[in-house]
Amino acid sequence: MGGVLIIGTVFIASFLWARPDNRFVWLVLFAMLYLGVLGFADDYLKVTKKKSDGVSGRIKLVFQIALALIIAAVFLNSPLIEVQARSLYVPFFKTPVITNMGTWFTLLFFALVIVGASNAVNLTDGLDGLASGCAITVAFAYAFLSYAAGNFRIAEYLQVPFYPFTGELTVVCAALIGAGFGFLWFNCHPAKVFMGDTGSLAIGGLIGVVAICCKQELLLVIVGGVFVIEAVSVILQVLSFKLTGKRIFVMSPLHHHFELVGWKENTVIVRFWILSGIFALLGLATLKLR
């Protein structure tokens, strides 16, 4: 349950250094705490029962969707940010592809981002330092994206949507970077502290809500490329086995596949970190390709 350390560090740092009157800061911290509690319940049940069964996947999904509905309700019930919530921005395009997604599609889209991000980080957390290292690179990218979206001159220059509330999310992302490095010191192989669902679900939820706030949700597919690949590998493995009875990978998520084909654990971790850094840079590079 080392994720408690990450959550506590991010919360305290954000409380001390971010503007207390910024609604986006509290929205992101709420999402992190909410999913952290859900993850803690799962970890607690696993430890006390001494089994791999914790909170069931369906119950987790229900709580994650409930969080998405809460986040969406905050956006849709505030005239200042309602237009932002309904807009859909796609990488490489200067203006929103859809200016008004409608209430139901907005709710569905928010649920997809939050559920997808939190579960993708959770699936990646299978080797020492893998999820925390990748989370650091994603947080670096979104720290810049948040600052750019909250600064009128930079937003105008880069032709990204300007939303004044998002600038303070740079502080939250920086807090996650600091917490991630501190945690990684003890979580690197061989790990002395483990993140657990407490940390992975919370980090994924934080990243997902930050992406929603700065209107770079779809860019998360590029910036968080390692998380996406890990999640997709599980989906493909399950679909393939159910439809054909055969497995695509030796084992999923993908990092376990490479372990079983002969890569050493440290090799898998470092190479995935490198890929995560490349994906983050590619995501930022799209800002100049619009």
What is the structure's pLDDT at 1? 63
Measured between alpha carbons, how far is 278 from 159 in angstroms, rounded to an integer? Answer: 23
pLDDT tens, position by position, 81-116: 898 899 999 998 888 999 999 999 999 999 999 999
pLDDT tens, position by position, 169-199: 999 999 999 999 999 999 988 888 899 999 9
State the pLDDT confidence band at 80, using cuts at 50, 70 and 90. confident
State the pLDDT confidence band at 290, using cuts at 50, 70 and 90. confident
What is the structure's pLDDT at 2? 81
What is the structure's pLDDT at 51? 67
pLDDT tens, position by position, 145-163: 999 999 999 999 998 999 8
